[in-house]
Each structure stands twice: as structure tokens, then as C-alpha cells.
Structure 1
Amino acid sequence: MSTSPEGPPKTTSAEPTDQPSETGVATATATAPSPPSDNDSPRPNSSRQGVRALLARLHFYAGVFVAPFLILAALTGLAYAFAPQLDQLVYSDQLTVEKVEGRPHPLADQVAAARADHPEGTLDSVITPADPEETTRVVLAVPELGEKQRTVFVDPYTNEVKGALTTSFNSTPVTTWLGDLHRNLHLGEPGRLYSETAASWLWVIAAAGLVLWLSRARARRAKRIRRALLPDRSARGVRRTRSWHAATGVWVALGLFFLSATGLTWSNYAGARFETLLDKVHSRTPELNTSLASAPGGTQGQHGHHGGSGSSKQSVDPVSDIGPVLATARQAGLTGTVKLTPPADEHSAWSVAQNDKVWPVHLDQVAVDADKREVTAANRWSDYPLLAKLTKLGIQAHMGVLFGLANQLLLAATAIGLLFITVMGYRMWWQRRPTRADRNAPLGKPPVRGAWRQLPLPVLLLGAPAVAAIGWTLPVLGVTLLGFLAADVAVGLIRRYRLSRRNMTASTR
């Protein structure tokens, strides 16, 4: 990432620098490199040293500038991971029943109770309880709410309406607020650049840090593994900080790679590239067919709004159909909590989809003709393309849903680990500052420039197209990398100009 070399970095007066500058793993920052020692560095002119020096510079600069985005993503993600517990704390009156007693009322009666209490909306969907202690959710489309809905919570044992909330994609206001905070900081579409920047660079910083740290050890295997996984508590100063920074990074690296990959799949620009890939390899999530055979200009096999095919007409009042539709779906094998969506029009069928996103997931869907009481189309989870399955499972794990509490705790540990190594990285930067009386500075110098000059030609010829391809696949990464390079070139030119001016001034004296 540089164009001209600089002198070696200054070191602190209190700390020896007899180890190379590799600065840990999967983190947001790094520190300026130390001069390599004879024991654990390659020969000065080796191509390996050139690669390591380039990675150290990339790890440092990317970490320094992307760290604020990573801190925000870690903090907001940590809060979002525990959204289910916050929901229970804030909305327990709406989400749970007072007493599990007797048999639930017919689903049609529960929907009728909700609509009687809230006549302002039309029926959008109904979600049956996942547990006996939960309420039934009757989701209403209300024009003044725009893309959001009004969800009415009904006690299935008493038919009592427990309350209503403004929801988005079936999420409560607290979960929606935390989700938007993590996704875009409540800044709308422009705010999504922050999270995509963090996800785009996280895997790069993590990979560079891993290579730098793991390539240090030249001792026997057992000692090498211990040095990689455990901090050196006997070290002091910057070496101790680096040890904690790197060892912690090794432990959380896998989680950081996972969060980066899954976050990119639903980002703005990289996500669009991923969707194009899914289309090309025919791995999109199957869309349930709800078009009835007699729909104008339509035949079975077309994809409707919800899914299905069958009779020519549905009942005028969808509430009267919901009981038979649910029974038909149960006979088709849809167990557990389900989401029932009424037909979009008289030429469409009901959609019934399993709503169990905890492993092992149950996500089958069927389209039901209410008049004939038969299934007209079905999407089975077992038939999903592999990439579609991995995408859906990855997103659920990213949200902390897939493995329940264990999933939440793993996400929390990863976020806390990211925050810790980020702070340690900044601390290293401060510890490496020059402290001599004749040369003081608030921060340490970055790794030396010109590392790319040490790379062999084949590496450059293969690396440049690879970097360009990655930059095209991850547009935010590509644009910001070009920004880093432009800034680096500008700094180099400015420093060269100042040096030449000083030399000219000195020669005229």
C-alpha cells in the first residue's frame, strides 16, 4: 500500500523491539512493526518478508480506519443478540398468557376477537403460538403505518386481547429499533454503508492478522500452538499487549469470519452481487406458487404473492376459512408454529408456512385451496438448494436465533472479543510512540512504506487481478481500498516534496 520507503519506525524507550511487528488477528487495529530479530524473521530480502510487511501495513491502516465501524457493529450487535430477552422484559403482558388452562379457542374465534378490538386494519397474517404459554399474533395491515403492521396479541385460552404493537416483519418495536441501529444506525439507506464497510473489511483484517501472528512461531509444534493460543503473561509493555491482542483474536477469528460472510449476504452492494450469484446457479429460496388454475392468464406453476393453485374462488371473508386451512396444513405435515397468510385475491390460495427457525429448523410451506380443502403446492425445506439453505441458516445464526441461548452467548463472546482486541490494538499504537526527549509523538509510526517492492513479480501479476476481482465482488471494500491507496500515494508525494525542499534549503546554506 505504498510507493516510497521511509526510515524504520521509532520505538519506545521503555520497550525492546526484538520481535517482528505482527499485530494479532481478526481485529480492528495494529501497531507499527518492530525490527525483525535473527531468530524469528526471514532473510531481509526474502519474498516472505515482503508479503509479511505488506500484510502488516494493510492490517495497520485498515484496522485504524475501520476500527470505529467495527466498534459500532460490535456494540449494536451485542445489544441485538439479546433482543428476545428484552422483548420478554418489555412486552411480557402481550407475548404471554396469564394461565395455560383448558383447550384453545378455534383460531377463527381468536382472529374475530382481534378484529373486533381493532377494526381499523385488514387481515395480513396470523401466527400461531410456538409454546403453550405464548399468545396468538393476528397481524393487521393498517394504511397509515406504511410498511409496518399492527399486531394484536390474543390469549388463545380466553379469547382476550392482551394488547397491540406496531411491528415490522413480525418484530416488536424494541427488536425493530435494535435491528435498525445495528443495520444502519437509524440513518436509512445511507447508514447501511457503515455496516457494509465493517463486514467488508472484517475478514481482511482478520485474515491478515492471523497470517502475521501464526507465521511468527519457529519453535517446536507444542510451543508454537501454546504461543498462538495463549497470551504471554511474562511479557511486558507493548509485547504483552500484542500477545493478548493476538491470542484473543485467534479464539474469535472463526466467529468474525462467519459474521463478516453472513453480514455481506444481506448488505446493499455485496448483497446484490450475492443475489446475482444465486440466480446464476439457480439457488434462490423457492417461491411458493399460489396462483389458482383458473386465474386470468395464469396456470399452475406460476408464482403468486403467497403460493398455491386449485379452485377458482375463495370465500369473501377469510376468517371463516382459517380453521379448515390450518387443519389441511396440519394434515400435510406442517407442525409447530405456522404463519397463515390469506389469499391476495379470489384467484389465489392461502399460504401456510412453518415458522420454527430454531435448529433443527422447520420451514416447509404449502398453498391451500380453502374451498376444496386441499394442498395445491408445497415447498419442502429438504428440497431447498444447498446455497439457499446455507444462506437462511447463516442469517438466523447471525441474528442469534438458530441455536437459541447458546447462539446468543457465542455472538456476545465474539462481540466482546472484537471490542477487546480493538482496544488492545489502539493501545499498542499508543505504546509504540517515540518517547525520547528530542523526539516525542502522541502515537507510534505506521509500518514502513514500499513493502510491495519486495514482492516477486509472479506474486504481483497474480495478486493484482485477484484484488481487483475481490474489489468488484465487494464494492465497498474496493472503493475504500482505492481511497486508502490514493491517500497513501498523496502522503508519500507530500513527504517526498518536503524532503526535497529541506535538502535544497540545506544545500544553499
Structure 2
Amino acid sequence: MFTNASSWRGLVLRLHFYAGLLVGPFLLVAVSTGILYVLTPQLEDWLYSEQLRVPPSAQQLPLSEQVRAAVAGSPGGELVAVRPAPEPGATTRVLFDEDGLGDSERRTVFVDPGTGELTGALVTYGTSGVLPLRTTIDQLHRNLLLGEPGRLYSELAASWLWVVALGGVALWVTRWRARRAAVRDLVRPQPGVTGRRRTLGRHGALGVWLLLGALFLSATGLTWSTYAGENVAALRAALGWENPVLETAVGGEHAGHGAAAADHGAGAGHVDPGAFDAVLGAARTAGIDAGRVEVALPTEAGAAWTVTEVGRGWPTQVDAVAVDAATGTVVDQVRFADYPLMAKLARWGIDAHMGVLFGWVNQLLLVAFGVGLIVLILLGYRMWWQRRPTGGWGGRPVPRGRLRGAGQPVVFAAVVAALVVGWFAPLFGISLLGFLVVDAVLGRRAHRGVAP
């Protein structure tokens, strides 16, 4: 297909070299913080056990009494939702909006469902309701605690991870084919070699083992990135792959009656806590049977309450219903079984990326992959160092001129692929352009005989 296979391989090798060298530090940070995040659930259970755990009680107070206790003991804020105790020995979470909290953050009051006593209050984050330790590590992984601008680092890492992984495996496969080695030699280091060739063998074989994981984490990481994430969302919308939306409008003569009493904007003192029991009961009757649910007040006057399953383990439980508090009628419902296939895959992919889909098994797999990826990157840097000229500081890059010698079909395919991927993942395109500019400048200096 290609007029010059060696030039094609040289082109991939040069891209792999530059990407691995310059993007490697971003990947190391992303992977290291990701490992920390995956390990936090058990640590949080221990660190916040005073708020999360209470002696199991044979009898539980009505949800309304638990809410009253939380409102009475809360320093202020607007009541927005309740998460009933999912199991004996767990506490109920009563969530409040407060001034000064960040996006998706809530002040959460923890209530003993057996006695109504408050066990503490913490700021929780997101649908998963993670606690302060995991929130901090999550933000460290997402944006280095720098806010929205810091998200560029993680998007850059996710944008290049799949490119580096596929390019590296392609190079390893061509090397394996040239050796006419057995199939087993594709997934194990080349025996009987030393020095840089031994490092290369370990790097290549490990890259094959980690390929699928790298592609998976790259794809799922891009789904909630800033710029590529917008394009992913637009693509899902265009192809009908979006999650179904729960309709909360309440029609008829009851519109606004029950909801007005619990208007999200009315403040906690205007909410009838007794409505929580009725709304949750209606949702249970409608088939919301998960242990972990959130009962949320209407977001505007005249709207329905919502009860949403928030379990992210397996099997996935994310069904939701909208309930008219005035009549106890379910006005709409969304079932995970009715999600489009791609929406289900996106849900599972994100949850697996976070390490919650399959519990501790998911955690172990992600930690093992993360450690393997760190070793892979360090082996790559070791190869770069081993290629350095005697007395030099760093490794030699692959010789220039590979694109010119690759032939028109390869050049055309490379340019088109770069434009398409660069449009979809803008940080990839911008950084690739940066690589080309740096390479051109270094080439020009070398041509003039100026030491880089």
C-alpha cells in the first residue's frame, strides 16, 4: 500500500519519540494522581467513619424526622436533596446548597437514621457524593488544583495517550515481523540481549500488554475534557447517543401546588419534610429499588420532585422517576434499560475509569495498569538516555526527512489524519503543530551548524 515502508516506520518512530519525550511528564502526573484517586474509597471509609457509620438499628425514623433533625442542626443553606441510609449501620445524608461552595459541591449533614442524632457535616462533591479527601485528589488528577485552566494538562495527556500507544505497538509489531519471531515473542521481552535492546524489548512487550487499557482510558478521559469533550457531546447528540432526559414538568390543576410548598428557591424552612416519605414511597412503588437513591426537591416552582438511583457499581442502577408531590403520581420515568447502547457504554466506561463499576476488582485492575504505564514511560526515557552520544546529555532523535521520503499516499494520509484528529481533539492538534515548529527550528539550526 505504501511506497516506502521504512519511511513510514521512520515517520511513526519520530512522532512516537517526540510525543513520548514531551508528553510523558503529563502522563506520569495523570497516571500517578489517578492511582491515588482509585485507592481513596476504602481510605475515606476509615477516615470519615464517624460521619458514615453508626450502630445498626432495628427501627428507622421516618425520613421526614431525619430531615427535620438535619435542618434544625444545619448552620444554614438551602435544602436540596436527601440520600437515605442505603444499608443498616450507614447514615442518611441531607444535602444543602450554601454560598461559597463550588460547582457540584453540597454541604452534607449526616444523620443517624435510628436516633435522629447528627454525626457530622462535610462538603461532598458530584453525583457520587465523594468526601473531601477524594474531592481533593479528584481535582488534583483533573486540573492540578488550578481550576479550569489546569484541565488542559489532563486533556493533553488523554489526547496523546492513544496516539503514543498505537504508534508504539505498530513499531514493535514491525520489529517483531522483521525478526520472524514466534507469536509469544510479541508479548515478552527479547531474550538474550543487553543494554538498550533489552530496555527496548521490555518497553515494547509491556506496551502490547497495556494497549487496550491505554485506548480505554484515553477515550473515556476525553469524554469529560474541556474541548474534545464538547465535540464528543456534539457527536453523541448528532447520532442520538445521549442519555434520556427526565421530564419534571407537572401539568393539570395540581401544577405548582405540592411543588410550591417545596420550591427549591423557597429555602429549607418552607419545605414540608413529610413530603420526602411520600415521594420516596411513590418512587419505590414505581420500581426504584436500589439501596442508594437521591430524593431531590424541584428546581423550580411547578416542577416535580425527582428520585434517582445513584449506584455506579454492577449492575448499574441509574433509573430515575419524577413525582408530583401533590398527588404522589409518577409523571415521568427514565430506565437504564432504555438507554441507547452507546449511552450505556459511555456510562460503563466512565464508571470503570473511576474504578467503581466492579468494586475492588476494578480498583486493582486500574492500579496494576497505572503502575505498568509508569514503568513503560520510565523505560522509554531510559532508552532515550541510552541513545545519547558519548559525553552527551540526552538521547538522539530519529533522523529527519522521513515525511518527505514516505511517498505521496503516506503524506496525504498523515495530513488528513492529523487535521481530523486535531479538529476533534484541539489540544492534540495544537501540540502537534508545536512539535513540528520545534522540529523545523532545530532542523534549521542543525543545517546551519548551530549546536542545539
> What is the TM-score with the length of structure 1 in the denominator?
0.82
How far apart in 1 are the matches of 2:29 and 2:252? 53
2:223 is the alignment partner of 1:272: no
The answer (yes or no) to whether the contact 1:350–1:367 under 8 Å persists in 2 is yes
- Which residue of the partner structure matches residue 466 of structure 1? 417
Alignment RMSD (CA, Å): 1.9
> 1:407-429: CA deviations, max 9, x gaps?
11111111111110111111111
Q: CA distance change for structure 1 residues 235 and 130 in 2, over 3 Å: closer, same or farther?
A: farther
Give runs of aligned pairs for residues 131-150 of structure 1, distance below 5 A. 131-145=87-101, 147=103, 148-150=105-107
- Residue from 166, 177, 183 that aligns with 2:142: 183
Question: Cα distance, 1:348 vs. partner?
Answer: 0.9
Q: Is the 8 A contact 1:292 1:348 kept in 2?
A: yes
Q: Quick one: structure 1 residues 219 and 134, their matched pair in 2 at CA, closer, same or farther if it must change by over 3 Å?
A: same
Is the Cα–Cα contact under 8 Å of residues 8 and 410 in structure 2 kept in the other structure?
Answer: no
Partner of 2:437: 486
C-alpha separation in 2, matches of 1:219 and 1:274: 38
1:401 counterpart residue number: 356
* Structure 2: distance between partners of 1:185 and 1:294: 50
Deviations 1:312-359 (A, max 9, x none): 411352411010111100000001221100122441111000111101
Q: How far apart are 1:238 and its partner, in Å?
A: 0.9
2:143–2:152 Cα contact (<8 Å) kept = yes
Offset of 1:68 from its aligned partner? 0.6
1:55-454 alignment, distance < 5 Å = 55-97=12-54, 99-145=55-101, 147=103, 148-169=105-126, 170-218=129-177, 223-294=181-252, 311-314=255-258, 315-316=261-262, 317-336=271-290, 337-435=292-390, 440-454=391-405
CA distance in 2, matches of 1:185, 1:470: 26
User: What is the rounded CA distance, in whole Å, between the counterparts of 1:146 and 1:253 in structure 2?
Assistant: 36
Q: Which has the higher contact order (CA 8 A, sep 6+)?
A: 1
> Hey, which of these two has a bigger chunk of helix by percent?
2
Q: CA separation in 1, counterparts of 2:75 and 2:274?
A: 17
Deviation, 1:124, is 1.0
Maintained 8 Å contact 1:318/1:342 = no
Deviation of residue 158 (structure 1)? Answer: 2.0
Post-superposition offset of 1:272: 0.8
Question: Using the alignment, how far apart are the partners of 2:92 and 2:375 within structure 1?
Answer: 42
Please state how far the C-alpha of 1:219 moved relative to its aligned partner: 7.7
Residue 233 of structure 1 deviates from its aligned partner by 4.5
1:444 Cα offset (Å): 2.2
**Residue pair 2:57, 2:89 contacting (<8 A) in 1 also:** no
Q: State the identity as a percent.
A: 45
Q: Distance in 2 between matches of 1:53 and 1:146?
A: 48
**Consecutive unaligned residues in structure 2, runs of 5 or more:** 263-270
3-state SS of 2:403 partner: helix
Runs of 4+ in 1 over 6 A off after TM superposition: none
CA distance in 1, matches of 2:106, 2:178: 62
Contact 2:107–2:122 at 8 Å: present in 1 too? Answer: yes
Give the whole-Å Cα distance in 2 for the aligned partners of 1:346 and 1:205.
51
Flag the structure with larger Rg.
1
Which one-letter code corresponds to 2:316 in the other structure? V
User: How far does residue 146 in structure 1 lie from its aligned partner after superposition?
Assistant: 5.0
* Alignment coverage as a number of residue pairs: 436
Matches within 5 A, 1:8-47: 47=4
Provide the rounded CA distance (Å) in 2 between the counterparts of 1:311 and 1:218: 71
**Letter matched to residue 227 of structure 2:** Y
Determine if contact 1:354/1:365 at 8 Å carries over to the other structure: yes
Tell me the CA shift for residue 242 of structure 1: 1.1
Q: Secondary structure of 2:186's partner? A: helix
2:100 & 2:411 partners in 1: Cα distance?
58
TM-score (ref. length: structure 2) = 0.92
Q: What 5-or-longer segments of structure 1 have no aligned partner?
A: 1-44, 296-309, 502-509
Q: Distance in 2 between matches of 1:322 and 1:216?
A: 65
Shift of 1:497: 2.0
